[in-house]
Structure 1
């Protein structure tokens, strides 16, 4: 026999470095092939076996220890030289394209044909089929990285070649104890109609399993969504309780001031609580020496403006407002920085800060900081916050203190005039949202109903 011109590739270096776990006589490979031998004996029970591509003969050794007349052939002279002395007489150097000495009850060909040039694989299959009626076969359908994998093919490629010689998949035999894609091909002399019937029967089982798995996946997804909703609801209940307690305290304050007549009404105008779009908002303490920072995640690209709900105590706001917008995950990277004259700050309403569009802003966290660094006590600007947070990843701080809720704030995206405002834009930016006791009671009722549901 003339060795194929690629036989020299399967040398000591190949077996030491190109087989994943170094391929040598060790417990890993002995256990691996011992497990395969157990299944072959248990489920096929052949009297004689040929391991086509036996390498160092570990499967030959394992089957012979289990009473099976097993032989091995491989093109690698190095591999055959490493076969254990007990089975060395039963293994030889040769090509599986060459005629074999006899027929066997079973031929095992595990991860061999992808190592052969494409032109030789059909010859090897034809030769194997001439010498048995039963072949346990596997060839990787996707490992293109290994340098000697010259002929990686999908399963249907090999099935077609075997079918040309009257060999068809045994659809009732699970060969996954070898590898997930392993197949048992057997010579079949039945009419094609019988083969089609068997394939259709197996196909229906697999199709039905696939449908059921998909249905189970959908059901699991719905269960996960329900569980997450329940978790959010539990958190919302806690927030609603806190909001209800706050609202009750404001009712008491309203009742106390209402007893004072016109003077009480003037006092009530200054209460630090209002409502926008059915959400409770609270006026935060003055920004004097207590800067407020809000972290948020941009929803779209080209962040170009932010709007805040501010108020100033009339003539007492004498010092400028300082606003800084920076990337939260890269501290020091400033997107925009402005110093705003107190005359531009509304007595109560929206203040909009526009800046150059920030490309690639979608999904990135930003931090906006508002401060009045030069104000004296009694001066300054107030910023308003929602009592409960709505934005994902929202973090609100005043000074070093972390607060519940988030700023009454909206973001605008785009390049003028093609701009869009995010879904957090409040539906009302005006003093007409000032609460009265009746409005507070309505909020309590709605919050209580939400808590019960």
Structure 2
């Protein structure tokens, strides 16, 4: 089979699940056991899972920091976990860290377990790796609790998002069928419990049709009743609108509508004001940029002039130093002349002539 150009060709790796990934996991800060939200969520889920499966041993494939493992241990299950993220395992709570190991969901699983859980994991794997992971889990247990989001595409690590029906079909190909008597909505609306039937008790087509039809019929009746109720509500609203009944409820709805329209107008006015401010700010920024360019040009001119003045000052200082050296040399010569014997003798010889004058 030829891969399409849009199919992923590389899977995610351990580095994709570091601090940034768990920092605000699903809108809740600090994805760890010490966060009240997550601890209460997993303790509640573990109690339901224990009551539903009566598992004594379990393995959580894709355990992350081991929160489900820790919760299952607290309700008496000998639980273990494996995850590809070295960061997640290293950051696990001290009470559960020795029950976790770093590994891939595609690796063979040592031993057998009463229950294997795989919660929001396979959407992170390449399709071929996901199928291999299903093989590994099915070889190590007869009961699998499985969830994989059918529609969360925003997470960049979700490279294999599929409808729940496709996952359930993959398990059915391996002899694992949905337990329609098990409601796992406490984990996720799309969570399923699949179980392997003994070789001598494989479900017949009639058994499977009965299981799914029983669940479908209940849901179908619920949907039809809600549709009828919605239709009656719509008709009642239309009747009130046509009759123009001035009931308290209608008045309340009209007042609410007027309030919403007023708020909508205020939002429009605020938008117009904001757009005007943005345009004004943009014009101001353009003016400032022009002034900044002119200032930069003047700064270049000023620097050139300053450099010229510095060169002239340096030349002037050089000339002053030369004149000083010459003056100093003249002073030294004069002093030497005054101190010399020739000068004193000349002075003596010229005195008579000076007196005769």
**Pick from 59, 63, 86: which aligns with 1:54?**
63
User: Who is 1:39 aligned against?
Assistant: 48
User: Who is 2:105 aligned against?
Assistant: 96
User: Who is 1:192 aligned against?
Assistant: 205
- C-alpha displacement at 1:44, in angstroms? 2.1
- C-alpha displacement at 1:17, in angstroms? 4.2
User: Who is 1:107 aligned against?
Assistant: 116
What SS does the corresponding residue of 1:233 show, helix, strand or coil? Answer: coil
Are positions 1:214 and 2:227 aligned together? yes
Distance 2:87 2:246 in 1: 68
- Is the Cα contact below 8 Å between 2:59 and 2:117 reproduced in 1? yes
What SS does the corresponding residue of 2:177 show, helix, strand or coil? Answer: strand
Distance 1:59 1:168 in 2: 24
User: Who is 1:117 aligned against?
Assistant: 126
Are positions 1:6 and 2:19 aligned together? no
User: Who is 1:166 aligned against?
Assistant: 175
- C-alpha displacement at 1:234, in angstroms? 3.6
CA gap 1:5/1:194 in 2 versus in 1, 3 angstroms = closer
- Is the Cα contact below 8 Å between 2:32 and 2:92 reproduced in 1? no
Deviations 1:385-433 (A, max 9, x none): xxxxxxxxxxxxxxxxxxxxxxxxxxxxxxxxxxxxxxxxxxxxxxxxx
- C-alpha displacement at 1:18, in angstroms? 5.2
Distance 2:235 2:112 in 1: 57
What SS does the corresponding residue of 2:27 show, helix, strand or coil? Answer: coil
Q: What's the RMSD between the two structures over aligned residues?
A: 1.9
Distance 2:228 2:104 in 1: 49
Are positions 1:134 and 2:143 aligned together? yes
Distance 1:164 1:43 in 2: 24
Distance 1:192 1:116 in 2: 32
Higher helix share: 2
User: Who is 2:215 aligned against?
Assistant: 202
Distance 1:165 1:20 in 2: 36
The number of equivalent residue pairs is: 233
Distance 2:165 2:245 in 1: 51
User: Who is 1:146 aligned against?
Assistant: 155
User: Who is 1:233 aligned against?
Assistant: 245
- Is the Cα contact below 8 Å between 2:32 and 2:67 reproduced in 1? no
Aligned positions of 1:9-20 closer than 5 A: 9-17=16-24, 19-20=26-27
- C-alpha displacement at 1:20, in angstroms? 2.7
When the two structures are superposed, what TM-score results if normalisation uses the length of structure 2? 0.62
- Is the Cα contact below 8 Å between 1:74 and 1:80 reproduced in 2? yes
Residue range with higher mean Cα deviation, 196-205 or 164-173 = 196-205
Distance 2:25 2:45 in 1: 22
Aligned positions of 1:30-429 closer than 5 A: 30-188=39-197, 189-229=202-242, 232-234=244-246
What SS does the corresponding residue of 1:222 show, helix, strand or coil? Answer: helix
